[in-house]
Amino acid sequence: MKVTLILCLAAALCVGAAVAQDNSSSSSQKSAGQDMKDAGNATKSAAKSVGHATTTGAKDAGNATVKTSKKVGNATVDTSKKVGNATVDGSKKVADTTVDTSKKVGSATANTTKKIVHPDSSKSDNSQKASQ
């Protein structure tokens, strides 16, 4: 900001000096005092123009920042929703797989327990099936 202000002041002084030279060459009867007034007016005008340009630039930059921030915020919300949905879907799949696996383990455990507790029943079941 300081650099911009210094550059604007330097430009205003240069414009003022150039205007003073142009005016003095067109009328050699102007006094040095009038040249100073003209240079001061030119500097004042240039400073106002620079001030307006700086204000406009700051407003434009602010508006662009707001728009960009809104876009980033919306993209973050959208991405978060997608991640949340994917997490829910993944959790459901894991839960379903866990239930299926638990049923299979339970069934296998029950069958194994029957074989251990009643080892002859499996043979008698086989012999009954063979006799039929």
Mean pLDDT per block of 10 residues along the chain (132 residues) reads: 70 63 54 86 90 88 90 89 88 87 88 82 54 50
How far, CA to CA in Å, does 5 sit from each of 12, 59, 97? 10, 17, 68
What is the crossing angle of helices 2-26 and 32-117, to 10°?
150
Three-class DSSP category at 29: coil
* pLDDT of 4: 73
Residues 47-84 as b or e (16 or more Cβ within 10 Å = b): beebeeeeeeeeeeeeeeeeeeeeeeeeeeeeeeeeee
- Return the structure tokens found at 52: 């307006």
Q: Report yes or no: 43 and 13 within 8 Å, Cβ to Cβ.
A: yes
* pLDDT of 57: 87
pTM over the 0.85 mark:
no
* pLDDT of 20: 56
- Return the structure tokens found at 26: 């067109």
Alpha helices in 27-118 (DSSP H): 32-117
Choose among 44, 48, 52: nearest CA to 13.
44
Q: Report yes or no: 59 and 53 within 8 Å, Cβ to Cβ.
A: no
* pLDDT of 33: 82
* pLDDT of 88: 87
Q: Where are the domains of the chain?
A: 2-131
